[in-house]
Amino acid sequence: MSATWPSWRCRAWWQGPCWGCSPTRRTPLFRLTWQDDRVHSPGSRPRSAGSAGRHAIRRESPDRDRAPGRPTASGRPHSGRGSLIRGAVLVAAVGAAVALVAGGIGSGPGAAEEVAPVASASSVAAPSPADPPPQPSLSPSPEAPVLQEPGAVPSTGPGRFRYDDRTGPVLGKAGGVRRYRVAVESGSGVDAGEFALAVRAALAGPGSWVDGGRLRLRQVAGTARHDFTVYLATAGTARRMCAAGGVDIRVGGRPYTSCRTFGKVIINLDRWRLSVPHFVEAEVPLSLYRTYVINHEVGHELGNRHERCPGRGKPAPVMMQQTLFLRGCVANPWPYLDGRRYAGPRL
């Protein structure tokens, strides 16, 4: 509601209507008077009976005498008619009218009442910032080495083998060629081709037996002419095959190690899948043990015998029985280190 009030001196309600002097700037939109039949101030005009005991709102300064209203926050000018209607609603009771006058509607000439917008709860409450997303690591930690293969390992099998029928490249640069086949026992859960690749990697080096320059090796198909065969067999089958060649692979009554017999390199499936406890405790990767056990047993096929640890903290010779112990040495899968044959004292 917009109203312009003149300057006046308010009189007590029993002294009659509160009229002031002429407005100094603009005529007010309305004036409030108190009418009472019982009390009239001297000089005031008598009221009609129909208006006794009621409050009246005297409207003055019609819209044609007013200047255009001040724009609101929305940019539209106040309507004089709308202001009068709102004034009639607000001054519906005597107490409300007195409170409005005492409170001073408008602080002076030309003052306008502007209703401040009520902020919603969502606009008042500051949004809580979301937790920042985790930042990617700039230097990811290296993967832990595989120490054992998970899953159950079959302890026995049918004794029948599947051969990898591929012919591999010649490994080594000089010397006579020794041909070998690769076979995996049926039911072992290991693919013959995958096992053949692991055997080839162990025999190719660098650091393998062919590094001496006096020997070359080559994988041939299962039906081809060959010098020896590398078998992967379950523990039960490995025990029978090794025992047939005069080698006992039992430790504590269980078939534990691998072996070499005449023309046969027999790898125990338990060791191939599970490695050995002291390698696992030292966190030696399973792949290193596999390379060792192949080079160790093929070393027997090539005429090499067991050797001992040359000193604490030194690499274990490949012909040392690393499956059983290290005796202070460090696990080592290669017969050649830095291009030279590495060996320990013979047993």
Which DSSP symbol is given to 71? Answer: B
Query: What percent of the chain shows pLDDT beyond 90?
Result: 58
pLDDT of residue 143: 83
- pLDDT per position as a tens digit, 283-340: 999 999 999 999 999 999 999 999 999 999 999 999 999 999 999 999 999 999 999 9
* Section 21-31 average pLDDT: 43
Handedness of CA 293, 297, 302, 305 (dihedral sign): positive
Write down the domain spans for the chain: 13-103, 161-341
**Nearest of 147, 138, 142, 208 to residue 178 by alpha carbon:** 208
Q: Are 277 and 324 in contact (CB under 8 A)?
A: no
Please state, rounded to an integer, the average pLDDT across all residues of the chain.
76
Q: Are 60 and 28 in contact (CB under 8 A)?
A: yes
DSSP 86-128: HHHHHTSSHHHHHHHHHHTSSSSTT-B--PPPPPPHHHHSPPP
Handedness of CA 183, 184, 186, 192 (dihedral sign): negative
Question: Model's pTM, two decimal places?
Answer: 0.61
Structural tokens at position 266: 């027999």
- Helix, strand, coil share of the chain (percent; to 5): 25, 15, 60
**Residue 103 pLDDT exceeds 50:** no
Say which CATH topology domain 161-341 has.
Answer: Collagenase (Catalytic Domain) (3.40.390)
* Section 141-150 average pLDDT: 87
Q: Are 173 and 209 in contact (CB under 8 A)?
A: no
* Whole-number Å distance between alpha carbons of 283 and 270: 18
Place 130 in a pLDDT band, splitting at 50, 70 and 90. Answer: low
pLDDT of residue 71: 42
**Residue 164 pLDDT exceeds 50:** yes
**Residue 140 pLDDT exceeds 60:** no
- pLDDT per position as a tens digit, 190-235: 999 999 999 999 999 999 999 999 999 999 999 999 999 999 999 9
DSSP 284-344: --HHHHHHHHHHHHHHHHTT---B---STTSBPPTTS-TTT--TT-B----SEETTEE---
